[in-house]
Structure 1
Amino acid sequence: MKPIRLILPLLGSLLLAACGDGGVREVESWMKQTEKDTRPSVKPLPAVKPFVPYAYQPGGAAEPFNPDKLLGEMARSAATSNNPNRPDESRPRELLENYPLDTMRMVGTMEKSGASYALVQIDKAVYQVKRGQRIGQNHGVVTRVSDAAIHIREVMQDATGDWVERTATIELHEGKENGK
């Protein structure tokens, strides 16, 4: 019974302490006073500027979204560029530069004076082609002649007007002869 006598006064004092406000009223009164004393200040919004739409008057002006306008500008830019791949347009063209590569067929090879030649057939005519010779409509130059193919370096303009290099080959055409 002795432990209960010690616990009851302790429990009673805790209950009385819980009934107090613990300083909350003081904080609430301070908050109400601060709210009364504070005056909010809001800056006014700036005046709205009127929107004036642009009236497009085409008249004789070029259409701004015309792809031909862009291509023309890219061509002018390419004409003045210092691209090392740019071909020499002022040199005289060789005979085989008049034909596209897809119309040519390699029909054989031969050696003459220590140089390798490829035999190229265009329509019914056969031409001799050697290393360094110009060929095709895309500023092509024969870089190597082997028994199986003619290797060509071409220079073409890409979509932006820059001169780019690409390789092409004409492979040996091994067709069956008719009548034999």
Structure 2
Amino acid sequence: MKRLALSLVGAAAILAGCGANTDELTQWMDEQKREVKPSVEPIVAPKKFVPQPYASISGIEPFSSQKIGSGTRIDGGQTNAMLAAQLRRRKEPLEAYPLDAMKMVGTVTRQGSPHALIEVDKLLHYVKAGEYIGQNYGQITKIGETELSLRELVQDAAGEWIERTTTLQLQEKAR
């Protein structure tokens, strides 16, 4: 009983302290409200959008099948022979990777002929003209100091095989 009585007396004392005079606190809050002035900068008005007319209206439409098939068409007999030759030969290691997974990181001259350094999966590969890379039967035709050119066999939107020239640009590492 004594413990309960002491607990009630303690709780009453704490509650009495909460109801103390708050005039001083109210006065300080009023002073702070008068002294502090918020400084909010106005929002800048948005710029007016000015539409531009399409300037290449006389060219090829961007989504037409002519745009997709921008390679050199091959006649049916020659296509079958080229494709059959590609399917008969043994695949080279870099033909397992798409071109967008490869980075040309440099060139080297070995025994008088230019070689390119290709990085794939953090491994460096030496390639030379005549070798195959990429998944579209890409054969390297030329190696320059800043780019590597290759000829690919791809199917266009109509399903016909075409030759396409592609380049792989030299890429410098980000520091």
TM range (shorter): 0.5 to 0.7
CA shift for structure 1 position 82: 1.1
Task: Describe the superposition over 1:151-173 as per-residue Cα deviations: whole angstroms up to 9, x where unpaired.
Answer: 01100112332210111111000
CA shift for structure 1 position 83: 3.0
Structure 2 residue 127 is the aligned partner of structure 1 residue 129: yes
1:101-140 → structure 2 map (5 Å cutoff): 101-140=99-138
Question: What is the aligned-residue identity percentage?
Answer: 42
Q: Distance in 2 between matches of 1:161 and 1:90?
A: 21
1:1-180 → structure 2 map (5 Å cutoff): 81-84=76-79, 86-87=82-83, 88=85, 89-177=87-175
Q: Distance in 1 between matches of 2:110 and 2:78?
A: 36
CA shift for structure 1 position 84: 3.8
CA shift for structure 1 position 175: 2.0
Q: TM-score w.r.t. structure 1 length?
A: 0.51
Structure 2 SS opposite 1:83: helix
Q: Distance in 2 between matches of 1:155 and 1:176?
A: 33
Q: Distance in 1 between matches of 2:174 and 2:99?
A: 22
Task: Describe the superposition over 1:124-173 as per-residue Cα deviations: whole angstroms up to 9, x where unpaired.
Answer: 10000110101100000000001100101100112332210111111000
Q: Distance in 1 between matches of 2:98 and 2:112?
A: 28
Q: Any unmatched runs of 5+ in structure 2?
A: 1-75
Structure 1 SS opposite 2:157: coil
Q: Any unmatched runs of 5+ in structure 1?
A: 1-80
Who wins on radius of gyration, i.e. which is larger?
1
Q: Is the 8 A contact 1:83 1:162 kept in 2?
A: no
Q: Is the 8 A contact 1:141 1:154 kept in 2?
A: yes
Q: Distance in 1 between matches of 2:79 and 2:129?
A: 21
Q: Distance in 2 between matches of 1:121 and 1:164?
A: 28
User: How many residues are paired up?
Assistant: 97
Task: Describe the superposition over 1:64-87 as per-residue Cα deviations: whole angstroms up to 9, x where unpaired.
Answer: xxxxxxxxxxxxxxxxx4134732
Counterpart residue identity of residue 169, structure 2: E
Q: 1:123 to 1:98 in 2, by over 3 A?
A: same
Task: Describe the superposition over 1:6-35 as per-residue Cα deviations: whole angstroms up to 9, x where unpaired.
Answer: xxxxxxxxxxxxxxxxxxxxxxxxxxxxxx
Counterpart residue identity of residue 82, structure 1: G
Alignment-derived partner of residue 60 in structure 1: none
Q: Is the 8 A contact 1:97 1:134 kept in 2?
A: yes
